[in-house]
Each structure stands twice: as C-alpha cells, then as structure tokens.
Amino acid sequence: MPVGKLRQRVLTALLLVPPLVAAVLLLSTPYLALCLGLLLLPAAWEWATLTGLPARSGRLAYVALVALCLPLLWQPALRQWSLPLIAVAVIFWCAVTLFLFRLRSLTCKSGADPGMAAVGVIVLVGPWLAMVHLHAYAPAGPALVLFLLVLVWLADILAYFTGRRWGRAKLAPLLSPGKTRVGVYGALAGAGLCGIPAGWALELPLGHLALFVALCVLTAAISVVGDLFESLLKRNRGLKDSGQLLPGHGGMLDRIDSLTAAAPLFTLGVLWLVPS
C-alpha cells in the first residue's frame, strides 16, 4: 500500500473511531441501533452498485428496502426472532467460507444479479441485528460491542503488517493479491492473545475462557471471509473499491466488510459463553 494512502487511512480512522467508540459506550441501545442503521444506508447503496442495479431509482429502492428491515426487526413481535436470524447469518457465512475455498475462477458480470441483491439483506442486516442484540446484553453489552470492533480492527492491522513483513504465499490471489497466509496467521494469533485479558475481565471460568479465546480466533478468521467475499463482488464487477466515501478506505462496505461476517458469529458465541 502506498505511504500516501496509508496516511489517508490512518487520518480517516482517527476521525471516525472516537465518535463511534463514544456512541457504543454512551448511547442507549435504541439510539445506537439508529446510528448503526444510518451507517448501513451508504453500504446498501454500494451493495446495490456491486449487484448491478443500473438505475439510480433502483439503488434508492434497495436502500429503502434495507432501511425498512431495521424498524421491522425492532418491533417487539419480531424481536423474539433475533437469535434465529443471527444464527441464519452465521450459517450463511459458513457456506460462503466453503464456497470461497472451492472457487477457481471469476466471471465478470454486466447485468443485475437479483440473487446477490437478496444476499445483501443478510450481509447488511445480520451484523446490525447482532451488534444491537449484543449491546443490549447487560451488563457488559457495550463493552463487548467495543471489544468486537477492536478485535476486528486488530485482526485487520496485524494481517496487513505481518503479511507485509513476512508474507510470501498468497492466501487468495484470485480475489485479493495482497493478502498472505502469514498475514492471516498473525491476525489469528493476535485475536487469541486479545481474547485472554478480555476473558479474564469477564471473569469466565477456565474452561469458558479457553472457549472464549477460541471464539476470538474464529471471529478473526471469519472476518477475513467477509473481506474476501466483498472482494469477489468487486472483481466480478471490475471495481477496485465499493465507493469513495472514506478517503484511504474506499466505500463504507470496504470498511465494514470484515465486520459483516464477524459480528453474527461473535454475538452468538458470547450469548452462549458469557452469563448475562
């Protein structure tokens, strides 16, 4: 990555991270849900572009569809379905992992892809639902959401720097030539080490602590899948970035792609391991 672009990425992160951290820690769950929902709107626009919706009106309609899903899922009558829907998102990302492992070629697409447009609802709404549910998981909900964000950011940073320093073998040259296997190993190791003090802070018994560390490692691993899946969509459309909203990062999807896969898995694991 050129030094100038890296500097842009750092400056953009320094501007965005403090208000996001403050929102996670200080806002009540309904207001955080609203803030996260607003962040999804540009991501939905970018997804509509990646799925080939050609007209501006079609993209706006897709953004409206995603936006409509959020208040619907917030209704008390549907909130009881949160956990099954989060589980569906986890199953979806497991299926994506298997698909990417078997991928051997790319197909450039020019027309609209209705199937991928439908998939986008799972990709975008799933992490929103997971993070909102996790935030409401008293008493440690806000801290757990913040830890999830830090975990994904840390994995991304370690993957970049360890891969740049020691990486040789490419992880998925067809999708992301810059990613290396060593980079992923560095991300997984960092996630595991990060999980140890977090598990101690949650006062987990030894057995649950080991499982929590394993959950952190798996979360980092699935975050890579989220990144690669978005890369697949961009390659299919001949695009480098999903947008230009965030200097140095690209679009909103380029910034949250790892989180889309990581949030459902981490939330489901936490609900199983960490007592409320």
Three-class SS of 90-130: HHHHHHHHHHHHHCCCCCCCCCCCHHHHHHHHHHHHHHHHH
Residues 6+ apart with CB under 8 A from 20: 149
- Greatest CA separation for the chain: 55
- CA atoms of 74 and 129, how far apart (whole Å): 9
Mean pLDDT of 31-45: 95
**pLDDT at residue 15, rounded to an integer:** 83
Q: Does the structure show a pLDDT above 60 at 4?
A: no
Number of domains in the chain: 1
**pLDDT at residue 14, rounded to an integer:** 81
Q: CB of 262 within 8 A of CB of 222?
A: yes
Its pTM surpasses 0.85: yes
**pLDDT at residue 6, rounded to an integer:** 65
Q: Does the structure show a pLDDT above 60 at 1?
A: no
Q: Hey, what's the torsion of the CAs at 30, 32, 34, 39, to 10 degrees?
A: -160
Q: Does the structure show a pLDDT above 90 at 243?
A: no
Q: Print the domain residue range for 94.
A: 3-73+82-105+113-273
Residue predicted with more confidence, 11 or 224? 224
- Residue identified by tokens 């691993």 is 221
In the chain, the percentage of residues whose pLDDT exceeds 70 is 96
**pLDDT at residue 244, rounded to an integer:** 77
Q: Does the structure show a pLDDT above 60 at 205?
A: yes
- CA atoms of 145 and 138, how far apart (whole Å): 11
Neighbouring CB atoms inside 10 A of 73's CB total 18
Going by pLDDT thresholds of 50, 70 and 90, the confidence category of residue 3 is low
Mean pLDDT of 101-111: 81
**pLDDT at residue 248, rounded to an integer:** 64
Going by pLDDT thresholds of 50, 70 and 90, the confidence category of residue 76 is confident
In the chain, the percentage of residues whose pLDDT exceeds 90 is 66
Q: Does the structure show a pLDDT above 90 at 181?
A: yes
Mean pLDDT over each residue of the chain, to the nearest integer? 90
DSSP codes, 32-50: HHHHHHHHHHHHHHHHHHH
Q: At what angle do helices 3-26 and 141-166 cross, to 10 degrees?
A: 170
Mean pLDDT of 76-99: 92
Q: CB of 154 within 8 A of CB of 194?
A: yes
For the chain, where are the alpha helices, taking DSSP H only? 3-26, 29-50, 56-74, 76-79, 82-102, 114-135, 141-166, 181-201, 206-237, 252-273
Going by pLDDT thresholds of 50, 70 and 90, the confidence category of residue 2 is low
**C-alpha angle with apex 175: 171 to 178, nearest 5 degrees?**
55
**pLDDT at residue 194, rounded to an integer:** 96
Q: CB of 221 within 8 A of CB of 184?
A: yes
Mean pLDDT of 202-229: 96
Which range (26-40, 179-193, 201-215, 234-248) has the least confidence? 234-248
Q: CB of 194 within 8 A of CB of 151?
A: yes
* Tens digits of residue pLDDT in 88-103: 999 999 999 999 999 8
